[in-house]
Amino acid sequence: MTDAHHEQPEQASPRQTVLLAAFEGWNDAGSAATTALTHLAEVWGAEKVTELDPEEFHDFQVNRPYISLDDDGKRSITWPTTTISVAQVGERKVVLVHGVEPSMRWRKYCEELLRVADELGVRTVITLGALLADVPHTRPIPMTATSDSVGLQSVLDIEANTYQGPTGIVGVLQHEAAERNLQSVSLWAAVPHYVANPPSPKATLAILTRVEEILGETVPMGELPDDAAAWQHGVDELASEDSEISEYVAQLEEAKDTAELPEASGDAIAREFERYLRRRDGGGKDSGPEKL
């Protein structure tokens, strides 16, 4: 592991320090989750503080290093490592973890991550993920938010994590964080399985919108809304050229609309209106009650 004692914001944050993590691989359909994390690092001006040594955690025949040439013709190798960066967002410190799902030693990997998190004062771990699902590209991307923390379930109005079955590194990191008495939230976007190739800007936008709601901090979206609209238009055109796909999408739309009809609730409308007001006023912080 490289030196973790790089420059960090000196000002102690009165708002809770939060860690956001996303990992390439099984947990990252359409690269939606890692793209969301990269976007946050860019718009919040995050600075790398350390990285994990990939030699311990990766099979390089599974996740191969990438060799490239710079402008001067010098060759360099990029290894599938995990970087940890810090951003100061208003009065809150945010730790961003961007990695590739490791091939081995997952428990030690999580131990290393959470040790650095402890040094940086993290109190809440939020993992970002994306999965392929039977959902139509023409409807809002479904988002699932769960937590093992009873207090957060109440404050954020999210469900308990009841999933049972095979898990990825995000599930293991969530478990290990809870074992260390950290609060944790798991966010998942459902990506239409028939357009699985990255990028998936509509799913990335959905993840960032949910992060914005949970943290109560405005996330500048930049060109993402336009990219999401262009992506949907492109998939519309492709579907229109194939009658079977077009019919399949119509079936998904009908199923989705029927299932979510009760969801057009007053609470959902109120949340959307609050989001509109924050953006209209150019917000920095959420004008509503603090979430974390």
Same domain, 102 and 158: yes
Distance between CA atoms of 232 and 176, rounded to whole angstroms?
37
Same domain, 111 and 219: yes
Residue 170 near residue 23 (C-beta atoms within 8 A): yes
Distance between CA atoms of 214 and 145, rounded to whole angstroms?
10
Same domain, 99 and 186: yes
Same domain, 185 and 246: no
Specify if 155 maps to a domain. yes
Rounded to 5°, the CA angle 244-245-247 comes to 65
Q: Determine the pLDDT at residue 30.
A: 95
Same domain, 193 and 247: no
Angle, in degrees to the nearest 10, between helices 243-260 and 224-240: 130
Spans of the chain below 70 pLDDT: 1-14, 260-291
Angle, in degrees to the nearest 10, between helices 201-215 and 224-240: 140
Same domain, 136 and 62: yes
Residue 31 near residue 68 (C-beta atoms within 8 A): no
Specify if 9 maps to a domain. no
Specify if 291 maps to a domain. no
Specify if 191 maps to a domain. yes
Q: Determine the pLDDT at residue 158.
A: 85
Residue 198 near residue 31 (C-beta atoms within 8 A): yes
Same domain, 43 and 183: yes
Q: What is the pTM of this model?
A: 0.83
The helix (run of H) or strand (run of E) holding residue 179 is helix 169-179
Same domain, 143 and 61: yes
Specify if 1 maps to a domain. no
Q: Determine the pLDDT at residue 188.
A: 96
Q: What is the CATH number of the domain that holds 184?
A: 3.40.50.10900
Same domain, 151 and 21: yes
Same domain, 271 and 161: no
Specify if 210 maps to a domain. yes
Specify if 4 maps to a domain. no
Same domain, 130 and 212: yes
Specify if 119 maps to a domain. yes
Task: Break the chain down into helix, strand, coil percent, rounded to 5.
Answer: 40, 25, 35
Q: Determine the pLDDT at residue 11.
A: 43
Give me the phi and psi of 23, to 5 degrees please: -135, 135
Q: What's the structural domain count of the chain?
A: 2
Q: Hey, CA dihedral for 221, 219, 145, 100, is it positive or negative?
A: positive
Range of the domain at 40: 15-223
Same domain, 144 and 246: no
Last residue of a domain, one of 173, 194, 223: 223
